[in-house]
Amino acid sequence: MWDGSENTVVTDRFGNRVVRTVTERSSRRKFRLADTWGWPRMDVEMDFDDYVLARIFSRALEEVEAGEASVTEATGLSREEVKNIVYCCFPLKLIGSLAIDKIKDPEPGVEEGLLRDILLAHACPDSQASVRFAKIVARRCMRDGHLWQELGLAERGELHRLMATHFPRLAAGNKDNMRWKKYLYRTICESEGFALCKSPGCSDCADREACFEPDDPS
């Protein structure tokens, strides 16, 4: 359905009306999961959470195939959580490649545990999806790259939407467009009563560009 602008209004699987932007439609059309697994091409009707999970598991599969991590180590999810997602959302031929029955549950370190706690404390109440994304985001924060890239997302804007959807209070607090990994660590520091940054204020800091995203988050 067309709403009179360049956006498209669609109905998701729960019957909700959702506006898809031109950028969002474009990123979906460009993204195709590995044909080896027969995963479907993204389209505008796909639920956003399913889209993000497909991106994340595609990134995780790269690490599995490279021998860098198991799927639980790549996502931070338990073996049972991975099973539930894969059996529900992805092609059956993917299951064997992930060797789910042969892997162990992840063991978060202290740093990852603190990130989990912050995210879970701000997650949408009674939302299993938010709990899963809290574990995934905390684990992917352990990687060296930008968080949106380590999640396998197409652009920073998709990470903003994910955080606003599942961690709305955290998203509301990030008023100055700080990079999400930096913001999460700063939130941990504030909750523990110490400062990560030596500068008295962000506006006077010489490293401001390293912490804050450009005005255009794309």
- Please report, rounded to a whole number, the percentage of residues in the chain having pLDDT higher than 70: 63
Q: Tell me, what's the pLDDT at 119?
A: 96
**Using alpha carbons only, how large is the chain's radius of gyration in Å?**
18
Range of weakest confidence among 9-18, 118-127, 155-164, 175-184: 9-18
Residue linked to tokens 């794309």:
218
Print burial letters for 172-184: b (CB count within 10 Å at least 16), e (below 16).
eebeebbbbbbbb
Q: Encode pLDDT of 77-122 as tens digits.
A: 999 999 888 877 776 666 666 777 788 999 999 999 999 999 999 9
Least confident of 46-55, 139-148, 171-180, 192-201: 192-201
Residue 1: CB atoms within 10 Å: 8
User: Which residues, at least 6 apart from 170, have a Cβ–Cβ distance to it below 8 Å?
Assistant: 118, 119, 122, 163, 183, 184, 187
pLDDT tens string 4-33: 444 444 444 434 444 444 344 444 433 444
- In terms of Cβ atoms closer than 10 Å to its own Cβ (0-12, 13-18, 19+), residue 194 is exposed
What are the extents of the domains in the chain?
Answer: 48-194
| Percent of the chain's residues with pLDDT above 90 | 46
For the chain, strand residue ranges (E) read 8-11, 17-20
For residue 91, the model assigns a pLDDT of 67
How confident is the model over 122-141, as a mean pLDDT? 96
Assigned token pair, 149? 């890239």
